[in-house]
Amino acid sequence: KAGVTQTPRYLIKTRGQQVTLSCSPISGHRSVSWYQQTPGQGLQFLFEYFSETQRNKGNFPGRFSGRQFSNSRSEMNVSTLELGDSALYLCASGLGLRGTEAFFGQGTRLTVV
């Protein structure tokens, strides 16, 4: 069974640009959640989508947005990039039911210069 796939693996962007990251969940999983990992703050929850609906959202500015498609694939968009957005962005997929696990992808490393 294929795992969670995130593309691209690495990105370099300039301040002020926008970026779109993609996540393909494990087959059969309807929940996709996104996390930001930085050395200073660790892993922080961005938002979660289930069956194309955002169910939960973390404390990030509106520049961070996401969506989920009918095939459960998800995209995350960051607009007006800032230097502080440099991080490893991780996607996790799961069945989305109470008591079920979340499995992470390898992440997309975003560098903003």
Partner 1 sequence: QKEVEQDPGPLSVPEGAIVSLNCTYSNSAFQYFMWYRQYSRKGPELLMYTYSSGNKEDGRFTAQVDKSSKYISLFIRDSQPSDSATYLCAMSASGGATNKLIFGTGTLLAVQP
Which residues on adjacent β-strands are paired with residue 57?
47
Rule CB under 8 A: choose which of 14, 53, 70, 98 binds partner 1.
98
Applying CB under 8 A, which part among 12-20, 65-73, 74-82, 87-95 lies near partner 1?
87-95
- Restricted to residues 10-29, the positions that interact with partner 1 (CB under 8 A) are none
Applying CB under 8 A, which part among 11-19, 35-43, 59-67, 79-87 lies near partner 1?
35-43
Amino acid at 83: L
Provide long-range contacts, Cβ within 8 A and 24+ apart, for 41-46: 43/90, 46/76
